[in-house]
A and B are shown apart, each in its own frame.
Chain A
Amino acid sequence: MALYFYPPSVEELIAALTKLPGVGPKTAQRLAMHLLHAREEDAAGLAEAILQARERVRRCHICGNLTDEETCPVCQDEQRDTTTICVVEQPGDCIVVEKTGQYQGLYHVLHGALSPMEGIGPNDLNMASLMQRLQNGNVQEVIMATNTGVEGEATALYLARQIKPLNIKVSRLAYGVAVGGDLEYTDEATLGRALQGRLSI
């Protein structure tokens, strides 16, 4: 007796979904079933949205952030403070910084961090264009907002050393206790760093 599985077209959909990050076989199956049962226009809308995004999106030629136009809205915005650049690893990190409402400067997206293990060196990151941006003398401060893991730290340090000869101030995001967090539950390393970077009140 032949065992019954999903029809080939459904199997193909499931296989495609499994390739997405964070999606295992079970989730892929559930998503596939959902898409098959969804209204025609919803499923088609999703497919269209993926195609549209793929077609339109590109990297801003100045900062490397994702944009639908030649230059991203932040780089176009004349209200922004052009003397400060905030360096982040991923486009999503810009959005997090934006949401604070505390930052008026420009961004630069590296699209990753140094990691010899994964074969990522300085030339594989969006670093050269940052150095170019710093040449015109307008920028006064570069804020390193890379992640706090070993790779993020190494990337920040590497850039800081490259930028140093240009006499531009390089700063690093402060480390500290989570706002509203309990001291008792803060790990030693974080608390140690927070002590080093304490502020007078």
Chain B
Amino acid sequence: MAILRLNSLIMRNFRNYKEAEVSFNPRLNLILGDNAQGKTNLLEAIAYLSLGSSFREQGDDKLRRQGEDFFFLRANYSNKSGSHLLSVGSQSVKAAHNRRLWKRDENPCRKVSEIAGLLHTVVFTPEDLQLVKSSPEVRRKFLDREMVQLYSGYYLYLNNYRRALQQRNNLLKQLDYSASVQADEQLAVWEEQLAENGAVIIKKRLDLLHLLNEIGQKIQAELTDCREQLRLQYLSVWSAADIEKIEPAEIAARLRQAYVDGRPEDKRRRTTLLGPHRDDFRIYINETEGRYYASQGQQRTAALALKLSELELVWQISGYYPLLLLDDVFSELDKNRRRELLRLMLGKAQIFITATEVAGELQSLRSEDYQLFEIENGCILGA
């Protein structure tokens, strides 16, 4: 069986860790400790190596230990081709400027897209439990975070799109209304970049959502004894039922038109109001929109189903289960959901759980099945 396992991790000057080396259990790792001792920081280090950025969306200067000018992370992991090293060093060069050096098996990598997804992770935070009712941004991030790891090219399109968007927004802020013909000519060239890159982004998200839909239905049925049905629908600039059958060229054409049509309003508001950077997907539970009509419990189950679907999806596409990082979320789930989660994933995905204490279900596990770590003020004690 093709597997992905994180064997060990070295951290230097990362968050509150000065110097730490940890070896992990291949099945389940329980990271315990009081609040503010560094539990999440450990998960963050693992996620940083897989995404090239923090899941807490913070810059490198915030990740360095206070008063230090660099941090270093190195993972020893195994996949189907054997055991590998992945490392990153980030050094502050001048104010607000960091130099990063990624190495894959000791070979330097120039782009984050070369390493994204090597140490594939799925992160599950309390924020993700709110996936159903939170803002569209959280759901977009959910899709994009997975996509960056699944398709090495996605990062480039996303980056190009963001850059063109920044440029168009800057242009909108500088526009002088006396020269509106010239303004439209200039807007058009950025819209072209937005449409070209945006079409690929939308197409990839649609494909991913299509797969998630199929897998999610099964998992939701399992989690609820077939009482609840889950359905996902992508929402873009235009709302159309045929959206999933559209080719990228057609998406690009529609986006192009949407940007042109949006110009008057965009000029008034001085920002780009439409496009994949504003897209969303709806989550239906039993054919009613979960955001408005589902109970808290139903929303949490749907969120869990989506995360588990994400793991299954990676298995279907890439042939291995990604690492599952549960940040303070396990204790947030009720007994049934905890049991289901372990039943579905234990032994498949390597699991990392942070918690303040050992929750009920885990006490019944065999001792060789898991490893306990106590975190105290940036020190890791293997218990």
Cα separation A192 to B151 with both chains bound (whole Å):
13
B366 at the interface (CB under 8 A from A): no
**Cβ-defined partner of B186 (8 Å) among A149, A158, A187:** A158
Interface of A is mostly: helix
A117 with B170: CB separation less than 8 A: yes
B153 with A117: CB separation less than 8 A: no
A24 with B93: CB separation less than 8 A: yes
B174 at the interface (CB under 8 A from A): yes
Q: How far is the CB of B115 from chain A (nearest CB, A)?
A: 13
Cα separation A150 to B191 with both chains bound (whole Å):
11
Which of B160, B164, B189 has its CB near the most chain A CB atoms (within 10 A)? B189
B185 with A161: CB separation less than 8 A: yes
A117 with B166: CB separation less than 8 A: yes
A188 with B152: CB separation less than 8 A: yes
A51 at the interface (CB under 8 A from B): no
Q: A24-B93, A114-B186, A187-B153 are in contact. Are A157 and B192 (CB under 8 A)?
A: yes
Q: A119-B174, A188-B151 are in contact. Are A150 and B160 (CB under 8 A)?
A: yes
Which of chain A's residues has its CB closest to B197's CB? A150
Q: Which residues of B contact A155 (CB under 8 A)?
A: 189
Which of chain A's residues has its CB closest to B154's CB? A188
B171 at the interface (CB under 8 A from A): yes
A93 at the interface (CB under 8 A from B): no
Cα separation A151 to B159 with both chains bound (whole Å):
12
**Cβ-defined partner of B152 (8 Å) among A149, A161, A187:** A187
Q: A24-B94, A157-B192, A192-B153 are in contact. Are A151 and B167 (CB under 8 A)?
A: yes
Q: Between A and B, how many residue pairs show CB distances below 8 Å?
A: 61
Which of chain A's residues has its CB closest to B114's CB? A187
Q: Which residues of A contact B93 (CB under 8 A)?
A: 24
A121 at the interface (CB under 8 A from B): yes
Q: Which residues of A contact B166 (CB under 8 A)?
A: 117
Q: Which residues of A contact B151 (CB under 8 A)?
A: 188
A150 with B193: CB separation less than 8 A: yes
B221 at the interface (CB under 8 A from A): no
A115 at the interface (CB under 8 A from B): yes
**Cβ-defined partner of B157 (8 Å) among A119, A122, A189:** A189
Cα separation A108 to B163 with both chains bound (whole Å):
26
A122 with B153: CB separation less than 8 A: no
B274 at the interface (CB under 8 A from A): no
A154 with B94: CB separation less than 8 A: no
> Which residues of B104-121 are within 8 A (CB) of A?
111, 113
B192 with A116: CB separation less than 8 A: no
Q: Which residues of A contact B193 (CB under 8 A)?
A: 150, 153-154
Cα separation A114 to B193 with both chains bound (whole Å):
13
B188 at the interface (CB under 8 A from A): yes
B189 with A188: CB separation less than 8 A: no
B153 with A150: CB separation less than 8 A: no
Q: Which residues of B contact A187 (CB under 8 A)?
A: 111, 113, 152-153, 156
What 1/0 flags go to A113-134 for Cβ under 8 Å of B? 0111101011000000000000
**Cβ-defined partner of B164 (8 Å) among A24, A121, A150, A162:** A150
Cα separation A121 to B190 with both chains bound (whole Å):
12
B164 with A154: CB separation less than 8 A: yes
Q: How far is the CB of B45 from chain A (nearest CB, A)?
A: 26
What 1/0 flags go to B157-185 for Cβ under 8 Å of A? 10010011011101100100000001001
A116 with B153: CB separation less than 8 A: no
Which of chain B's residues has its CB closest to A25's CB? B94
A161 with B189: CB separation less than 8 A: yes
What 1/0 flags go to A148-183 for Cβ under 8 Å of B? 011101110110011000000000000000000000
**Cβ-defined partner of B189 (8 Å) among A24, A149, A158, A192:** A158
Cα separation A187 to B190 with both chains bound (whole Å):
23
Cα separation A187 to B94 with both chains bound (whole Å):
31
Q: Which residues of B contact A188 (CB under 8 A)?
A: 151-153, 156
Cα separation A116 to B192 with both chains bound (whole Å):
15
Q: How far is the CB of A40 from chain B (nearest CB, A)?
A: 33
- Return the 3 tightest CB-CB contacts between A and B, nearest first: A188-B153, A116-B170, A116-B171
Provide a sorted-by-A list of 13 A–B residue pairs whose CB atoms are within 8 angstroms.
A114-B189, A116-B186, A151-B163, A153-B192, A153-B193, A157-B192, A158-B186, A161-B185, A161-B188, A187-B152, A188-B156, A189-B153, A192-B153
Query: CB within 8 Å of A: which residues of B?
Result: 93-94, 111, 113, 151-153, 156-157, 160, 163-164, 166-168, 170-171, 174, 182, 185-186, 188-190, 192-193
